[in-house]
Amino acid sequence: MRIGVLGTGMVGRAIAARAAELGHDVTVGTRDVAATRGGDWSDWAAAHPTVTLATHAGAVTDAELVVNATSGDGSLPALGAAGEENLAGKVLLDIANPLDFSNGFPPTLSVLNDDSLGERIQREFPRTRVVKALNTLTADLMTHPRQLADGAHTVFVSGDDADAKKQVTELLTSFGHTDVIDLGDIGTARGTEMLLPLWLRLYGRLGNPIFNIKVVR
């Protein structure tokens, strides 16, 4: 499958590397290709030679599935740069959280309770099939879940399009996730985004991000 990943940070690189490892055709999108190549990208790219770097628009034009791995405050601008027409009809796996670091650490949520970043993206790009997932765990567990409890911990999907959620669930399963719960429409992304304050406090307490929630039933 052709996958476009928006974002060159830790999450974007983790998703791109794992998807490429599984045989997908991966292009990573960035605001400024030259600036990204001028940073530490070259070392990472040398270890992942099949992954291509392009502009946001270039990454999604031919993609069958798009991953939003940008920061929460950068999501709408990055998707805007990718282009509404380029995103129309495509599945968008949205991993971003609306974290606000303006008052330092730990961050607060810039959107909560009666809205979510996932919903804002869906409203801004109504022809895109947005699925919120993987935003409740650290990047390394997103892509290699079996390092913890052999993958027997829970991830969630939220979205309005059943087929889009099926495609995302299949991708998560290929990563190694064994417990994927469909919460319902994109409005349920409010709940998973609001897990982040708890996640951050647990991280601070445990001193290690390799943990997750298991829904026992």
Give the pLDDT of residue 18: 99
User: Domains in the chain, please, with CATH?
Assistant: 2-206 (3.40.50.720)
Closest CA to 57 of 34, 36, 32, 37: 32
Give the pLDDT of residue 197: 95
- Rg of the chain taking only CA atoms, in angstroms: 16
| Strand intervals (E) in the chain | 2-6, 25-30, 52-55, 65-68, 91-94, 99-100, 108-109, 129-133, 154-159, 179-184
Give the pLDDT of residue 108: 86
In the structure encoding, which two tokens stand for residue 159, read together? 């979205």
Spatial distance between the Cα atoms of 99 and 82, rounded to a whole number of angstroms: 22
Contact 193, 98 (CB under 8 A): yes
Give the pLDDT of residue 85: 98
Give the pLDDT of residue 105: 87
What's the whole-model pTM score? 0.96
Return the amino acid letter for 27.
T
Spatial distance between the Cα atoms of 189 and 133, rounded to a whole number of angstroms: 8
Give the pLDDT of residue 67: 99
Give the pLDDT of residue 194: 98
The tens digit of pLDDT for each residue in 114-140 reads 999 999 999 999 999 999 999 999 999
Residues of the chain with pLDDT under 70: none
Closest CA to 172 of 119, 136, 128, 216: 136
Give the pLDDT of residue 121: 99
Those residues with Cβ within 8 angstroms of residue 39's Cβ, 6 or more apart along the chain or in another chain: none
The tens digit of pLDDT for each residue in 5-32 reads 999 999 999 999 999 999 999 999 999 9
